[in-house]
Structure 1
Amino acid sequence: MATTSTFQTTRSIGLLLFATMAGMSLWFMGAAVIPDMAREAGLEDGQLALLSSVVPAGFALGAMGFAISGVPDRFDPRHVFAVCATVTAVLNAIFIFVPIGTPAAGIIRFLSGIAMAGTWPLSMKIAVGWSVTRRGTLMGTLVGALVIGQAAPYLMAWIGGTDWRLALWMGSGLALLGAAAALLTQLGPHHVRAARFDSRALYVAWQMPQLRRAILGYLCHMWEFIAFWSWVGVFAAISFSASMPEEDAQALGKLAAFLCIIAAAPACALGGVLADRIGKAHVAATALILSGTAALLTALTFGGPVWITFALLILWGAAVVPDSPQFSAIVADYAPAEIAGSVLTLQASLGFLLTALTVQIAPSIAAIAGWPAVMVLLAMGPVAGVWVSAPLRRAERA
């Protein structure tokens, strides 16, 4: 029986990791193919930014709706995940046939963000049902899968070359596989389903100091995180173009974006293991310090030797994510079990609402002050995160 239980646990977590990777693989699809779409349709910076920023805006709205309605805690999260991943895949395929730069293109990306709000937060709800004592490791591994999924569009764009539509077709197929995997996943022994949901419970949860600190730390992380991932391919290509032909710089920029995002996957897994040994808040603070430092160093080397900027981007990419799963794990630890899914969804909603702002303003600031100024601005998030999460670290030492 123990062997069967172990097998079922490993199988379900493995399926959940794949579903998470595949279900969120369309998030950065717009950002990954932006250079090719811009070249084909002659889009301006504001139009390009809109195609990226409407996704987190839609995600924030969708996640807020899910949190307030209590969907993650009232319904089977596997079914919600599968439906939302399927809708995302269909919308992504429709985007292929819509004229670039039209309002319809922005609306489809916005709706895709809403649909994706039913994937990642639900993954967290399923994950925390599998363990109480090893949530740091579990959440770190889960975010590692998320990282691979969000890096996938850059790899698909690189494979597709200038044919950005091929990348979108590949992405839709992968999202559908994620929906199927979610349906095959089992729920863990610690999964709690709310018989009735009261949205006032979210307000009560916010009154818990440690829970509030964890959410604020997560928001500081999000200030930097998605904006970096959304624009890394663009500012890497611009930096590299100072030392090589523009076409080669764009190709290397795509590869750099994929590698710097994928570098976070093993970092998240390692951070999860360390978190269960030395403390979640300590791992989160270490990641914030490394990430902020890498951002500032990358700003200093922008336009300089390609290999130095390339290496710093990889370091930045590895450090920008591991704090996220640990803040989420702390939230899951302190939130009442029957509303944990809704609290995690609310946290995600607030975070992605913030990123809609940073993703949109980044190119505007770059046009005025240059991309290095954007990097310095993004580094302010980790600085604030280290400060706001200090009480969490003190609690771990007590």
Structure 2
Amino acid sequence: MRLPVVPTIVFAQLFGGSLWFSANGVGDALMRVWGIGPAQIGLLTNAVQLGFIVGTLGFALSGLADRYPASRIFAVCAVLGALANAAFALLAGGMTSALVLRFAVGVCLAGVYPLGMKLVVSWVPERAGHALALLVGMLTLGTALPHGLKLAGGAAWQAVLLGASALAVIAAVMIFLLGDGPHLRRRDGAPTLRMGAVLAAFRIPVFRSSAFGYFGHMWELYAMWTLVPLLVASSSLATLGSVSGLSFVIIGVGALGCFAGGLISRRTGSAPVAAVALATSGVCCALFPLVADASAGWLMAFFVLWGLSVPADSPQFSAMSARACPPEIVGSALALQNAIGFAITIVSISWGTAVVAEWGAKVSWLLLPGPVLGVIALLPLLRNPSAR
């Protein structure tokens, strides 16, 4: 009996995605035990991002993402990522070894996230926008999950990391058993995959607009997720409960934004959903310094709106990019788009964590150019309904 396709992939993405921010989920414990500060937590996050960039570039430029079954690549990478994450929990004794192991986790995640998106398109291409919204929603929950695990697990930060590793192994088994879908098979007469062939995707106008919109989105997304615990801890929200619990809610609620956007995209297309989400999160970036001193209740409502909107456009960009490309390069094109997008996050995360102590709430203005430029990149697709 075959596993249910979309639920299997999206829950596997949830479990595999828990590796991504597992170190951030225990950031306060690491700062206490290792004597480090927010900038060093930013370095640990960027080590994952850099590893992901290296991995996705390797998959994209070599064509590996389209040469071998996506389910097998996903399963192998999820297991290897789980091992690297467990080694971080049990063996890392300081920043040097920690950075190496977080980099390794990032490399492995390059075989989880983009290949998970390819699996969705290979099974249900006619519902790509909606299904990818579910998948990215689960990745968002996976990003928040370490904060939830820490909340449940108390002070044992190693247990949080080991729990994330166990979930990633479960994800590997689920995808291995599911296998690849019947779509995205190579067309007869399609050119042989060669090194760097995926770069031709940028000659496709729809892919180009979607990719540049995605790049603006990425300037904001991961920097915002990285800064959330720091902004919560320094605000009136700290009176409402633990930083981990509040961060889990603020980041995790983004899954609902992805789910809602996916449903709406079935009627409107992907481009309008992406544009509204980008505009909403951009307004939140602009207004946050003006509301940062509000009462805890109002500030939490603001953070929930920001958390809802900030990831909701991501699956729509992936759906538009996947539809724009020939089937034989979809995996490589998505990996390339991810690689460039995550390279951008390194700049915004490094800058944001370096200046947040000095800038305070005004650090959100650093994130604002991303949504603005993303909306501008989307304008050609908003004017052309057939490209949505």
Q: TM-score range by the shorter chain?
A: over 0.9
Secondary structure of the equivalent of 2:216? helix
| Residue 58 (structure 1) aligns with | 51
Secondary structure of the equivalent of 1:190? coil
Cα deviation for residue 303 of structure 1 reads 3.8
2:69 aligned with 1:76, yes or no? yes
| Residue 191 (structure 1) aligns with | 184
Instruction: Please give the alpha-carbon distance, in whole angstroms, between the structure 2 residues aligned to 1:115 and 1:163.
Output: 25
**Overall identity of the aligned pairs, in %:** 36
The alpha-carbon distance between structure 1 residues 397 and 78, as it changes in their structure 2 partners (threshold 3 A), is closer
2:270 aligned with 1:277, yes or no? no
| Residue 381 (structure 2) aligns with | 392
**Contact 1:75 1:193 (8 Å CA) reproduced:** no
Aligned equivalent of 1:48, options 29, 33, 41: 41
The alpha-carbon distance between structure 1 residues 397 and 130, as it changes in their structure 2 partners (threshold 3 A), is closer
**Contact 2:42 2:226 (8 Å CA) reproduced:** no
The alpha-carbon distance between structure 1 residues 290 and 315, as it changes in their structure 2 partners (threshold 3 A), is same
Cα deviation for residue 100 of structure 1 reads 4.2
2:336 aligned with 1:346, yes or no? yes
Q: Which aligned pairs between 1:109-120 and structure 2 lie closer than 5 A?
A: 109-120=102-113
Instruction: Please give the alpha-carbon distance, in whole angstroms, between the structure 2 residues aligned to 1:163 and 1:278.
Output: 46
Aligned equivalent of 2:205, options 186, 203, 209: 209
TM-score (norm 1): 0.92
Aligned equivalent of 2:301, options 306, 311, 318: 311
Q: Which aligned pairs between 1:328-347 and structure 2 lie closer than 5 A?
A: 328-347=318-337
**Contact 1:260 1:314 (8 Å CA) reproduced:** yes
| Residue 220 (structure 1) aligns with | 216
Instruction: Please give the alpha-carbon distance, in whole angstroms, between the structure 1 residues aligned to 2:178 and 2:267.
Output: 28
Cα deviation for residue 163 of structure 1 reads 1.8
| Residue 290 (structure 1) aligns with | 280
Secondary structure of the equivalent of 1:89? helix
Pairwise CA RMSD of aligned residues?
1.9
**Contact 1:15 1:184 (8 Å CA) reproduced:** no
Cα deviation for residue 304 of structure 1 reads 3.3
Amino acid at match of 2:226: S
The alpha-carbon distance between structure 1 residues 262 and 102, as it changes in their structure 2 partners (threshold 3 A), is closer
Deviation per CA, 1:64-106, whole angstroms, max 9, x where unpaired? Answer: 0110111111001111111111011111111123344331111
Instruction: Please give the alpha-carbon distance, in whole angstroms, between the structure 2 residues aligned to 1:257 and 1:118.
Output: 27
Amino acid at match of 2:326: P
| Residue 3 (structure 1) aligns with | none
Total equivalences in the alignment: 384
Q: Where does structure 1 differ by over 6 angstroms across 4 or more consecutive aligned residues?
A: none
Instruction: Please give the alpha-carbon distance, in whole angstroms, between the structure 2 residues aligned to 1:156 and 1:306.
Output: 24
Cα deviation for residue 368 of structure 1 reads 3.0
| Residue 159 (structure 2) aligns with | 166
Where does the alignment leave 5 or more consecutive residues of structure 2 unmatched? none
Secondary structure of the equivalent of 1:129? helix
The alpha-carbon distance between structure 1 residues 76 and 193, as it changes in their structure 2 partners (threshold 3 A), is farther
Cα deviation for residue 326 of structure 1 reads 0.5
| Residue 137 (structure 1) aligns with | 130
TM-score (norm 2): 0.94
Cα deviation for residue 160 of structure 1 reads 1.8
Cα deviation for residue 290 of structure 1 reads 1.1
Instruction: Please give the alpha-carbon distance, in whole angstroms, between the structure 1 residues aligned to 2:295 and 2:286.
Output: 16
| Residue 4 (structure 1) aligns with | none
Instruction: Please give the alpha-carbon distance, in whole angstroms, between the structure 1 residues aligned to 2:334 and 2:327.
Output: 11
Secondary structure of the equivalent of 1:389? helix
Amino acid at match of 1:32: G
2:322 aligned with 1:326, yes or no? no
Secondary structure of the equivalent of 2:90? coil
Deviation per CA, 1:38-80, whole angstroms, max 9, x where unpaired? Answer: 1122113332221111111110111101101111110011111
**Contact 1:67 1:342 (8 Å CA) reproduced:** yes
2:348 aligned with 1:358, yes or no? yes
**Contact 1:73 1:192 (8 Å CA) reproduced:** no
**Contact 1:92 1:172 (8 Å CA) reproduced:** yes
**Contact 1:13 1:185 (8 Å CA) reproduced:** no
Secondary structure of the equivalent of 2:384? helix
Query: Could you tell which deviates more after superposition, 304-313 or 176-185?
Result: 304-313
| Residue 378 (structure 1) aligns with | 367
Aligned equivalent of 2:250, options 260, 264, 278: 260
Instruction: Please give the alpha-carbon distance, in whole angstroms, between the structure 1 residues aligned to 2:339 and 2:98.
Output: 23
